[in-house]
A and B are shown apart, each in its own frame.
Chain A
Amino acid sequence: MERYTAVRMIGAGALMTTAALILAGCGQGFDGDSGGGATDSGDLTSSDDALTIMIGSSGEAETAAVEDAVAAWSEDSGLDAEVVAATNLSQELAQGFAAGSPPDLFYLSTDQLAGFVDNGSVRAYGDLLDNKDDFYPSLVANFTIDDEFVCAPKDFSTLALIINTTLWADAGLTDADVPTTWDELATVAQTLTTDGRVGLAFGAEYQRVGAFMAEAGGRLVDEAGTEAVADSSENVEALTYVKDHLADGSFAFAADIGAGWGGEAFGKQQAAMVIEGNWITGGLSADYPDVEYTVAELPEGPAGQGTLQFTNCWGMAADSPNQEGALDLVEYLTSTEQQLAFSDAFGPMPSIESAAADWEEANPEFAPFLAGSAYAIGIPTNVGIAEVITDFNAQLESLATGDPQQILQSVQSNLEAVVGG
């Protein structure tokens, strides 16, 4: 390039940079770039704007139930509201926050909570709720950051053992054979394993395998959330147990037998038992109504009973123009009758204590789920935990040929970078 043209290029570059800086000035930036902490200063915003509710649905049953509830509220309150079922909830949320146009209300999981609170995307409103004292304390604790109750738990679920009663009876097993220890589980799974069908199936993820870890007495992060304890001998024991039975064919990961998740494997009778949470009840009744099943508590491991607890909350966007309306909607959606209706439609348990008795009465066969809540541990809530769990899950997929000690050690080092600080 001759010098003349080079000078021209520099000139053009200067022009571009100037334009960029001008853009910065007149750009549609957003005020409210608060640093850390959920924005809670001042009152809630209020307007007549329609609300957008984004959910990460487990299936048509859940989407329909939420849409019905929101429509009913809409009629009552006179405010328009729209439900959007996300294809990829975390991505769509992050994109919405970055663009400044997030949904007003959305499902917020425990592992995403800290990250969004950290960059000021969510509005803490827990203390403003009328029914804030009604929520289970353990759930409130899950959604409290820096002593601030951020969002209302919308429901919760625990993992339990789902058993196909027809296949159970066909294999000659009875009620007395429902496993209560790991050895019994192994035996029963072995008995139920036949050609083309596996005894026990579950997803290849911490959100399922973690139940075994809990039963062995191990966890990812200690109760205070300040220390990473992933590479404990208890966890190794749990993973070794799972690995041994993956190897002998009585356990299997859902993906390895061609199913998208445990519920599908169960519904298609590719597995006689699965470890799943409450949501499986809605999925089964919608997609596989002919499969007969019963729910049992997970068996005890070396350290006693253990299971995992999952809960999401209704997150409220700090950038929402109509937070008062959103708050009203949340109170409606977490009311007793609404939560019971949701439970009916797709299975999870109400997050308020006052509804527990009604729920048990309505769903006696699902009592083991509720019983699990007494000893369940939740997913850790530290910032950045989601990525660590994703990586853990990726390694779990090759557990059958992998080394539990090595896997847990890598998780430990990842956790240490995230926890404690």
Chain B
Amino acid sequence: MTTTASAPRRGGSSAGIRRGEGLAGWLFTLPIIVILGLFLFIPVLMALWVSFSDWSGRGSPLSSNVSFVGGENYAAITSGGGLAERNFGIALRNNAWYVLLVVPLQTALSLFLAVLVNRAVLRGRGFFRTAFYFPSVTSSVAITVLWLFLFSTTGVINEALSWIGINGPNWFNDPRGILHIALGAGGGSGPEALTSSGFLGITWWEWLAGPSVALTALIFMAVFTTSGTFMLLFLAALQNIGVELNEAAMMDGANAWQRFWLITLPQLRPTLFTVLTLGLIGCWQVFDQIYTGTQGAPGKTTITPAYLSYTSAFTDQQWGIGAAISFILFLIIIVFTIFQRWALRERAVSRRRRRPYQQAVAAAEARKVGAS
């Protein structure tokens, strides 16, 4: 972070130069300080205040009429027992399933694509990279509009499914959870044990409903648009992996699958970490697609906390609740990121498992020395 020390300056103008540098430094960074401060820092503080107040939406939130109500808004969302809690529970459930499905799928798919493209010949590589990355460049609004068309009742997807004899569902209008459908439960009530109690106003049975069919269409869209970006990250990492280890493993008779799993993948750990972090952070903030595409329908199964925060404030005029939801979401994202960092940390490998690896490295080195 610190720059290298420059050669000692000669002459008496050093003090003058340094002073000019200090002033210039502040001047140069002034725009970003002002803008970041004004439009990022202070707003967060203001929203924090609104989340602890009873501002009703008219006039300034900093005026004297607005009073401090403590954790009332947060309590209403997490334990109030009313619609606010239920809506928050539904939003959390939807987003949790979304994250659960999108992050592994997009990571796996982008890794798979990267491996494939990596093996392609140089010229073809450019074309395939472009093809897979293009969806990431388009705006979420444009892609959502396209997706609404593709997945409509008489759209491309259902048409294609009908060629193989499947009657596609009315994607964006079907509120049934896919887990429920898989268990044959459709939408009817589940076992007594699961419907009698719940969390955040939703019964456990509803928590386990899985993403709705509509949300599943959105999941496909997320994987479609983000796999390109992450593929590029993996590609870069793959091209940085040295070939010696791979060759050594080939000598030892490891097949491609073993080589991938035991050698390539561990070396991709930093990229994997990046991809997972970016994926998690991105998935917990789904908003544009909901705003453009479904507005929470059908049956509130595509409401996400980000969208709920927006509608609570801007449509229902419950600004305190909206702000509270966004801060809880912030917390959730932080928790997930920390957890993921902990889960993927470099753990000391046990000596027993280390040995074959060390042997392979030593053998590769020996061969290199021997060959030269």
Chain B residues with CB under 8 Å of A417's CB are 82-83
Chain A residues with CB under 8 Å of B116's CB are none
Complex Cα–Cα for A401 and B173 (A): 14
B173 touches A255 (CB 8 A): yes
A20 touches B317 (CB 8 A): no
Chain B residues with CB under 8 Å of A88's CB are 315
Complex Cα–Cα for A301 and B298 (A): 29
A16 touches B298 (CB 8 A): no
Chain B residues with CB under 8 Å of A371's CB are none
Chain B residues with CB under 8 Å of A17's CB are 45
Chain A residues with CB under 8 Å of B65's CB are 33, 35
B59 touches A30 (CB 8 A): yes
A119 touches B317 (CB 8 A): yes
Complex Cα–Cα for A4 and B119 (A): 51
B299 touches A94 (CB 8 A): no
Contact of A33 among B37, B63, B82, B188 (CB under 8 A): B63
Complex Cα–Cα for A271 and B57 (A): 43
B290-337 residues with Cβ-Cβ distance < 8 A to A are 296-300, 311, 313-317, 319
Shortest distance between the CB of B172 and any CB in chain A (Å) = 9
B70-89 residues with Cβ-Cβ distance < 8 A to A are 82-83, 86-87
- Beyond A17-B45, A397-B299, whether A29 also contacts B187 by CB under 8 A is no
Chain B residues with CB under 8 Å of A401's CB are 176, 186-188
Give the nearest-CB partner of B152 in chain A. Answer: A258
Chain A residues with CB under 8 Å of B46's CB are 20
Chain A residues with CB under 8 Å of B60's CB are 24, 27-30, 33
Shortest distance between the CB of B86 and any CB in chain A (Å) = 7
Complex Cα–Cα for A75 and B317 (A): 36
B86 touches A24 (CB 8 A): no
Chain B residues with CB under 8 Å of A19's CB are 37, 42
Shortest distance between the CB of A26 and any CB in chain B (Å) = 11
Task: Fill in one digit per residue for A253-295: 1 if any B CB lies within 8 Å of its CB, else 0.
Answer: 0011110000000000000000000000000000000000000
Shortest distance between the CB of A61 and any CB in chain B (Å) = 24
- Beyond A20-B42, A394-B299, whether A94 also contacts B57 by CB under 8 A is yes
Q: B153 within 8 Å of A by Cβ?
A: yes
Chain B residues with CB under 8 Å of A121's CB are 57-58
Chain B residues with CB under 8 Å of A386's CB are 316
Shortest distance between the CB of A258 and any CB in chain B (Å) = 4
Give the nearest-CB partner of A396 in chain B. Answer: B299
B314 touches A256 (CB 8 A): no
Give the nearest-CB partner of A257 in chain B. Answer: B153
Task: Fill in one digit per residue for B262-295: 1 if any A CB lies within 8 Å of its CB, else 0.
Answer: 0000000000000000000000000000000000
Contact of B58 among A33, A394, A414 (CB under 8 A): A33
A98 touches B83 (CB 8 A): no
Give the nearest-CB partner of B195 in chain A. Answer: A406
Q: A166 within 8 Å of B by Cβ?
A: no
A119 touches B83 (CB 8 A): no
- Beyond A387-B83, A397-B175, A403-B188, whether A27 also contacts B57 by CB under 8 A is no
Question: Could you count the A-B residue pairs with CB atoms below 8 Å apart for me: how many are there?
Answer: 115
Shortest distance between the CB of B105 and any CB in chain A (Å) = 26
Complex Cα–Cα for A414 and B82 (A): 6
B58 touches A119 (CB 8 A): yes
Task: Fill in one digit per residue for A331-359: 1 if any B CB lies within 8 Å of its CB, else 0.
Answer: 00000000000000000000000000000
Give the nearest-CB partner of A388 in chain B. Answer: B83
A29 touches B45 (CB 8 A): no
Contact of B62 among A24, A255, A394, A395 (CB under 8 A): A24
Q: A366 within 8 Å of B by Cβ?
A: no
Contact of B56 among A27, A119, A257, A388 (CB under 8 A): A119
Chain B residues with CB under 8 Å of A115's CB are 316-317
Q: A95 within 8 Å of B by Cβ?
A: yes
Chain B residues with CB under 8 Å of A27's CB are 60, 62
Q: A78 within 8 Å of B by Cβ?
A: no
B42 touches A91 (CB 8 A): no
Complex Cα–Cα for A240 and B66 (A): 47
Q: B189 within 8 Å of A by Cβ?
A: yes
Chain A residues with CB under 8 Å of B139's CB are none
Complex Cα–Cα for A23 and B300 (A): 38
Chain B residues with CB under 8 Å of A406's CB are 189
A398 touches B175 (CB 8 A): yes
Q: B118 within 8 Å of A by Cβ?
A: no
B62 touches A120 (CB 8 A): no
Chain A residues with CB under 8 Å of B314's CB are 91, 94-95, 98
Q: B170 within 8 Å of A by Cβ?
A: yes
Chain A residues with CB under 8 Å of B187's CB are 398, 400-402
Shortest distance between the CB of A65 and any CB in chain B (Å) = 26
A398 touches B86 (CB 8 A): no
A397 touches B42 (CB 8 A): no
B299 touches A398 (CB 8 A): yes
Q: A90 within 8 Å of B by Cβ?
A: yes
Complex Cα–Cα for A401 and B296 (A): 20
Complex Cα–Cα for A395 and B187 (A): 11
Chain A residues with CB under 8 Å of B82's CB are 414, 417
Contact of B170 among A30, A91, A118, A255 (CB under 8 A): A255
Give the nearest-CB partner of B316 in chain A. Answer: A387
A403 touches B173 (CB 8 A): no
Q: B154 within 8 Å of A by Cβ?
A: yes
Q: A321 within 8 Å of B by Cβ?
A: no
Q: A56 within 8 Å of B by Cβ?
A: no
Complex Cα–Cα for A116 and B65 (A): 17
Chain B residues with CB under 8 Å of A20's CB are 42, 45-46
Chain B residues with CB under 8 Å of A31's CB are 59
Q: B41 within 8 Å of A by Cβ?
A: yes
A139-162 residues with Cβ-Cβ distance < 8 A to B are none
Chain A residues with CB under 8 Å of B42's CB are 16, 19-20, 23
- Beyond A16-B45, A91-B314, A94-B57, whether A23 also contacts B86 by CB under 8 A is no
B188 touches A414 (CB 8 A): no
B58 touches A120 (CB 8 A): yes
Chain B residues with CB under 8 Å of A414's CB are 82-83
Shortest distance between the CB of B337 and any CB in chain A (Å) = 19
Complex Cα–Cα for A32 and B187 (A): 49
- Beyond A16-B42, A20-B46, A255-B170, whether A97 also contacts B154 by CB under 8 A is no
Chain A residues with CB under 8 Å of B45's CB are 16-17, 20
Q: A100 within 8 Å of B by Cβ?
A: yes
Complex Cα–Cα for A52 and B277 (A): 46
Q: A391 within 8 Å of B by Cβ?
A: yes
Interchain Cβ contacts under 8 Å between A and B, 5 examples: A94-B316, A120-B58, A121-B58, A387-B83, A387-B316
Q: Which 3 A-B pairs have the closest CB atoms?
A: A29-B60, A33-B59, A24-B62
Besides A91-B311, A119-B57, 9 other A-B contacts (C-beta < 8 A): A16-B42, A30-B58, A32-B58, A33-B66, A118-B56, A394-B300, A398-B175, A401-B186, A414-B83
